[in-house]
Amino acid sequence: MYTNITKVIAREILDSRGTPTIEVDLFSKKIKATASVPSGASVGIHAALELRDHEQRYFGKGVKKAVANVNTIIFPAIKGMSCFNQKALDNFLITLDGTPNKAILGANAILAVSLANARLASKIKNIPLYKHISKLAQTKPRLPTPFFNVINGGKHSDSKLAIQEFMIVPKSKSFKQALRMGSETYHMLKHILEKRGANSTNVGDEGGFVPNIATTSQALRLLTKAIKAAGYEGKIKIAMDAAATSFFKRGKYKIDKRTLTKDKLVQKYRRMLLKYPIISLEDPFYEEDFISFAKLTKLVGKSVQIVGDDLLVTNIERMETAIKAKSCNCLLLKVNQIGTLTEAINAFKLAKKQRWNVMVSHRSGETEDSFIADLVVGLGAGQIKSGAPCRSERLAKYNQLLRIEEEL
């Protein structure tokens, strides 16, 4: 069985926002595997560096440098390495870059190679990608609960809503049924919004609606109405991603036409959690405010998961700080925040050691690559968010989970 890497080809493609990103083909003789890298709008300052060209083309967002780094630096260095040793490859790429945030080669360049390598190994072994990942992580595969982003705010839209994502979370014995419940509620929400007049059913980056509303309570009322009208009251819960760094200014939070201190915001969240069936709250505070995260987690953490995204950026060092402060009880796992599959697996293992939940996540600028569907199953993480149940770059993940469910 031939397992050595013989050829690498990188190219610039476009993501779901029409912005350049990188795609890599990795070969072992005639066997080829491809992976592409997504890009976020709400990006934590501690995330690994996404290398951009900063030239006139594509308004500075081209990735020719990252492509060149794969073709001229990474390929000669990894040629002949075995794709079966994911950890060795990823550690070699980290060393080859030599910076804490992958600023030389670019996290996007490194990640594309890392993910393509995992897919290549699974192809050579002739096993599904999720099974290969479960062997790498030494975990038991399982299907996740989907978190569908059905109302977009914050940096994902031109809405007046400060909160970035309002999600519905169907609880079901099968993923197939959960997808149906999410889709039906999404379409019921669209029907309700159509009655509000023109532009109410415009959609944001992740396929969620961008209604002409300005407050969190309005969005939550719309969701509860849609859930009830679809016949799923009590069966579908609500989750939110505040992405609070985006509305944090000069030490205070601008939300719902008000300016609040962090203590006032804690109380606002608490009232919302008591009034609505919210089971998950992501990034409720500024990305450096470990203490406010901890206050809210202590207050509501037994019944609600407090998710760290920009706070943690899938980074072991940030996670250790949060563990000491008891800042949250759930990791949002994004492979492109850290830059290699091995580091993402290590972050997952640390989270599970702390008995945290883990939610595998897409990015707002996505590609048709369904890698995270296999990742969430392979890790047995139990939760995934990949946007609304519409738009092909989001459905690529959900449809892949349907296929995996048939196998499992």
Distance CA 386, CA 365 (A): 11
| Pairing relationship of beta strands 330-333 and 305-308 according to DSSP bridges | parallel
**Encoded tokens for 33:** 């595997």
- H helical segments located in 153-258: 175-194, 216-229
Nearest Cα residue to 73 out of 65, 84, 81? 65
Specify burial of residue 235 (Cβ count, 10 A radius: 0-12, 13-18, 19+): middle
317 has catalytic annotation: no
**Identified catalytic residue from 334, 343, 385, 393:** 334
- H helical segments located in 195-326: 216-229, 262-275, 290-300, 316-325
Query: What is the CA angle 296-169-283, rounded to 5?
Result: 30
Distance CA 125, CA 132 (A): 8
Residues 6+ apart with CB under 8 A from 244: 253, 265, 283, 284, 285, 286
Query: How many angstroms separate the Cα of 393 from the Cα of each of 156, 206, 284, 396?
Result: 15, 9, 27, 5
- Side by side, the strands of the sheet bearing 252-255 are 248-249, 252-255, 258-260
Distance CA 298, CA 304 (A): 10
**Encoded tokens for 295:** 């206050």
Contact 285, 262 (CB under 8 A): yes
Query: How many angstroms separate the Cα of 284 from the Cα of each of 248, 249, 263, 350?
Result: 11, 14, 12, 22
**Identified catalytic residue from 206, 282, 287, 393:** 206
Residues 6+ apart with CB under 8 A from 208: 149, 150, 151, 152, 156, 157, 165, 166, 387, 388
206 has catalytic annotation: yes
Distance CA 368, CA 35 (A): 10
**Encoded tokens for 152:** 């977009």
End-to-end Cα spacing for the chain: 27
Residues acting as catalytic residues: 206, 334
